Amino acid sequence: MLVRLLACIAVFVLFVPEGVGQENTLAQRLTPLAQSHRGRVAIAVKHLDNSESCYLNADEVLPTASLIKFPVMIEVYQQVLEGKIKLSDMVTLREQDKVPGSGILTYHFSEGATFPLKDAVRLMIVFSDNTATNLILDRIGIGSTGARMAAWGFPNTKIHAKVFLGSTTSIDPERTKKYGLGSTTAREMVGLLEKLHNGQLVNAESCKAMVETMKKCDDKAKLKRFLPEKIAVAHKTGTVSNVKTDAGIVYLPSGPVAICVLTNDNEDRRFVEDNAANVLIGKVAKEVYDYFRTAQAK
């Protein structure tokens, strides 16, 4: 009887699934999520204190949707530093400026409303306001963001046209057709976030202001979805029918972590909070949170 019992134990030990009783790597946690998703996925994660990272399809150029508004904000602050514009410059809303989609200007502000450029930037990031974005692009130029990003070593990060006006304002019709409003890679987004965290974009004061604006982003359906409420996230999201994106700095107890998740060609194209891509992005952030919490505890 004892011999048979020992034999059964031996067989059980031999066939324990791989990883059981071991600490999974970050890649082992995230890869199954990406592989099971019905759509294209790119993920980049980097702990900004200890540099531990994970990159999955991170160099694939993918559409950004409204995530590209984050680099647009950076370009605004850079042009302010260069003296080309001021955050206090007044912007006037015209009826012909109004475009549909996300935001509040089109639906709640009257023609002739005036407000500082700084407020337009806040509307663009916090509420992903499309009309505010176009008003900003009128001030800084559509091509300036892509040119700046390329000069700084992020050549795939570009905005191609004004929002909802691609057919008449595109500066690169081929890229507009392929990627829509903007394009980037997950690696480039995390690179920008790292520089933002380190105060290496524009200047330290501007980086601090941009982070504070991004912390107010009102989209809780993606990176913030499964995280404890106390966890701060400075991020920008993007949503169109077949594209869902989010990139930001997640302030974990173990330190800040930059995360970017890009999805494209999603089978689930519903505009609902439990859209499969939204849930995927939330699961990625939760796995990152759990992984670094476990690592910190050891």
**pLDDT of 83 over the 70 cut:** yes
CA pseudo-torsion sign 188, 189, 190, 195: positive
DSSP labels, 169-202: H-S-HHHHHHHTTEEE-HHHHHHHHHHHHTT-SS
In this predicted structure, what is the pLDDT of residue 297? 65
Find residue 92's DSSP bridge partners. 114
Average pLDDT over residues 200-209: 98
Query: How long a stretch of residues is the chain?
Result: 298
DSSP labels, 67-97: GGHHHHHHHHHHHHHTTS--TT-EEE--GGG
In this predicted structure, what is the pLDDT of residue 253? 96
Strand order in the sheet with 62-63: 62-63, 182-184, 158-159
| Structure-model confidence comparison of residues 1 and 138, the more confident one | 138
Average pLDDT over residues 124-135: 98
* Domains and their CATH numbers in the chain: 24-60+186-298 (3.40.710.10), 63-184 (3.40.710.10)
d(CA 158, CA 236): 15
Q: Is the separation of the CB atoms in 179 and 64 below 8 Å?
A: yes
Task: Write down the mean pLDDT value for the chain.
Answer: 93
CB atoms within 10 A of CB 22: 9
Q: Is the separation of the CB atoms in 239 and 266 below 8 Å?
A: no
Confidence tier at 294 by pLDDT (50, 70, 90)? confident
In this predicted structure, what is the pLDDT of residue 295? 76
d(CA 262, CA 42): 5
Question: 6-15, 73-82, 116-125, 281-290: which has the minimum mean pLDDT?
Answer: 6-15
In this predicted structure, what is the pLDDT of residue 11? 36
The alpha helices in the chain, defined as continuous H runs, are: 2-14, 26-36, 69-81, 105-108, 117-126, 130-140, 144-151, 166-169, 173-179, 186-197, 204-214, 276-297
Q: Is the separation of the CB atoms in 207 and 199 below 8 Å?
A: yes
| CA angle in degrees (0–180, nearest 5) for 67-259-50 | 145
Which amino acid, one-letter code, is at 274? Answer: D
Please state whether beta strands 255-264 and 62-63 pair in parallel, antiparallel, or not at all (unpaired).
Answer: unpaired
pLDDT in tens, 233-257: 999 999 999 999 999 999 999 999 9
DSSP code for 162 = S
Q: Is the separation of the CB atoms in 118 and 206 below 8 Å?
A: no
How large a percentage of the chain has pLDDT more than 90? 90
Q: Is the separation of the CB atoms in 230 and 252 below 8 Å?
A: no
